[in-house]
Amino acid sequence: MPATSRDRLVAAAFELFAGQGYDATTVDEIATRAGTGRSTFFRHFPTKDDVVLPDHEALLGRVDERLATASSAGREVALREAAGIVLAHYLDEGETARTRYRLASTVPAIRDREIASVQRYVRLFGKHVHRWLDAETDGSLRAELVASAVVIGHNHVLRQWLRGEVDDAATAQALVDRALDHALAVLRGPASAGAPTIVITSGGRDVEQVVREVRDALGRA
């Protein structure tokens, strides 16, 4: 049995939702199933919707703490580890997280709350990425792009796991790492425009002709 009253309420709620549906389940029924009273329920959760949602406040706090300790030099590692904190939370929830995902597809209030929570993560990541990039060329724009890309990449993989398309934690983490490779390319900034072009050609060719061909090729690239 779950150890805390909060955990018991969550477990009871999901059992009732599975058995009789979300709309048909009352707060009183959840409290009774958990062996608590209404006052205990509302001490933990403002509404019935909140018993379904993950503890975003705690998660956001942990992400904020990890990113706040990172210097500009360690920003890529910090972003990967911060995204990993969120992923690990959902993986640890297991079937509870997958049940919540299914509920969100049928209960508009839960779906709307989850959509709103995504923006909170984007703003939090953005706050720290701005701190690292604002002094750089196009830093403010890149910070917004990075924050959005990190959250979008993470959530793309998370939804695959929630739908059962990815089964194990190691695969999910590897897919998030790959998604973040794309997001962090923006963090590093554009490649140098002054990189040299090396041309290899056979001996005996007219140099001017080779130069013209190279110019034409670069113009088409």
CATH class of 54-188: mainly alpha
Q: How many CB atoms lie within 10 A of CB 110?
A: 20
Average the pLDDT over 165-187 and give the result. 94
| Model confidence band, residue 3 (pLDDT cutoffs 50, 70, 90) | confident
Who has greater pLDDT, 219 or 160?
A: 160
Q: How confident is the model at residue 203 (pLDDT cuts 50, 70, 90)?
A: low
Asked if 169 and 175 touch (Cβ cutoff 8 Å), the reply is no
pLDDT, tens only, 96-147: 899 999 999 888 989 999 999 999 999 999 999 999 999 998 999 999 999 9
- Residue 164 structure tokens: 């059962």
Tokens of 110: 């839960």
Residue 54's Cβ-side half-sphere holds a number of Cα atoms within 13 Å equal to 25
pLDDT digits (tens, 9 = 90+) for 31-42: 999 999 999 999
The model's pTM: 0.79
Question: CA 100, 102, 103, 109 torsion: positive or negative?
Answer: positive
Class of the CATH-defined domain 5-51? mainly alpha
Q: Where are the domains of the chain?
A: 5-51, 54-188
C-alpha span between 58 and 43 (Å, rounded): 16
